[in-house]
């Protein structure tokens, strides 16, 4: 299977500042890939290098199997991009802006331009608008128009930097649904974001970048893998703690009024459950603990950079 995006040892230095260091990304075709990082972690520099806007100090970028920036002419017509907010001529209408952009480059037949523009506007929920000058658009409408521009030529790969910026919750949800639908239709989406909930909701794989270095890259399910602890809710916490301690390796990490957090050390949760029930402890709930992406993210970025696992 070819990779939609591959970077090898990608490094960018601005003067003395190292913005991106030794980045190895792998985005498979058909992924909805989340690219996470705090502000100033090198996300946008990476996105710009992927698109050939910024030249890497060292390392390689391949988009859809072709080298960037060398093959941008061949590869970028199949890529839709939204980088750091939309950019339009304010005195022209949304439609006129899309038409100018489409006309400016290769890979967009003029015959069906009107049709494609209409379709793209419809997909982002701007079907009714598009005639007023962009100057009069709200920031949410501009964001949608930016997405429409990225969708104009039914790209194989979408590189989107903060696509839900400026949208209300309803709009965010619509965009999320749109991205899922695009991936279902065979496209690949590279979603750069600092909205962890967004990535957790829709992405299949994710990478986390911190201070220009990759700290994690894995399927989202794996990033959110069980922590090896279980949460036990019971009206008999004291008895439960005593019983748990009789199993080898188990340790009660936290103890609250009616719940315990037990570190299992490899013991299956059901083994603990049986011991508790057989010991007469009334178990109301026994759940393997899973971190939220936010917890994982904070944990990984607090530790600071380390070699990707």
Partner 1 sequence: MLLVELRKLVVRPRTWVTIALLAGLPTLVAVLLKVTGIGPRPGQGPAFLAQVLSNGALFPAAALALVLPVFLPVAVAVVAGDAIAGEASAGTLRYLLTRPVGRTRLLVVKLAVTMVFVFLAVVVVAAVAFAVGTSLFEVKPLPSISGGPPIAAPDASWRMAVTVGYVAWSMLGVAAVGLFASTVTDSPLAAALGSLAALVTSQVLDLLDAAAALKPYLPTHYWLAFVDLFRTPVLWHDVSRGVAIQGVYIAVFLAAAWANFATKDVTS
Q: Which residues bind partner 1 (CB under 8 A)?
A: 14, 48, 51-55, 72-73, 76-77, 79, 81, 83-92, 96, 100-101, 103-106, 149
List the beta bridge partners of residue 190: 33, 159
Nearer to partner 1, 158 or 216 (CB): 158
- Residue pair 281/237 in contact (Cβ under 8 Å)? The answer is no
Count CB-CB contacts under 10 A for residue 209. 27
Closest distance between partner 1 and the C-beta of residue 149, in Å? Answer: 7
- CB 59 to partner 1: min, Å: 15
Closer to partner 1 at the Cβ: 120 or 243? 120
Rounded to whole angstroms, what are the CA distances from 122 to 47, 119, 145, 266? 27, 5, 10, 52
In the bound state with partner 1, the residue whose beta carbon lies nearer, of 38 and 85, is: 85
Nearer to partner 1, 49 or 196 (CB): 49
Nearest approach, Cβ of residue 135 and partner 1 (Å): 11
Q: Which candidate, 189, 192, 121, 129, places its Cα nearest to that of 156?
A: 189
Task: Please state the closest distance from residue 87 (CB atom) to partner 1, in A.
Answer: 3
For partner 1, the closer CB: 120 or 267: 120
Around Cβ 170, how many Cβ atoms within 10 Å? 10
């Amino acid at each position: 299977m070819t990779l939609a995006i591959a970077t090898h040892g990608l490094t960018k230095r601005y003067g003395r500042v190292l913005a991106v260091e030794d980045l190895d990304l792998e985005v498979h075709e058909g992924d909805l890939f989340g690219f996470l990082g705090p502000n100033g972690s090198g996300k946008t520099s990476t996105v710009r290098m992927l698109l050939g806007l910024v030249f890497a100090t060292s390392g390689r970028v391949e988009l859809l199997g072709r080298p960037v920036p060398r093959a941008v002419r061949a590869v970028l017509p199949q890529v839709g991009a939204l980088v750091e907010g939309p950019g339009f001529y304010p005195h022209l209408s949304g439609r006129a802006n899309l038409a100018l952009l489409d006309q400016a480059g290769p890979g967009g037949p003029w015959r069906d331009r009107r049709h494609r523009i209409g379709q793209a506007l419809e997909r982002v929920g701007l079907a009714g608008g598009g005639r007023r000058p962009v100057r009069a658009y709200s920031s949410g409408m501009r964001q949608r128009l930016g997405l429409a521009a990225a969708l104009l030529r039914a790209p194989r790969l979408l590189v989107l930097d903060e696509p839900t910026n400026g949208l209300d919750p309803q709009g965010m949800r619509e965009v999320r649904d749109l991205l899922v639908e695009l991936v279902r239709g065979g496209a690949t989406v590279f979603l750069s974001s600092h909205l962890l909930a967004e990535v957790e909701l829709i992405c299949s794989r994710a990478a986390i970048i911190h201070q220009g270095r990759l700290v994690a890259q894995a399927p989202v399910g794996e990033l959110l893998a069980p922590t090896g602890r279980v949460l036990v809710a019971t009206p008999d916490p004291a008895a439960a703690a005593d019983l748990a301690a009789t199993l080898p390796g188990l340790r009660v990490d936290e103890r609250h009024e009616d719940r315990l957090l037990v570190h299992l050390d490899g013991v299956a949760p059901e083994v603990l459950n049986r011991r508790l029930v057989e010991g007469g402890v009334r178990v109301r709930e026994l759940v393997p603990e899973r971190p939220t992406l936010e917890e994982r993210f904070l944990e990984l970025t607090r530790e600071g950079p380390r070699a990707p696992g």
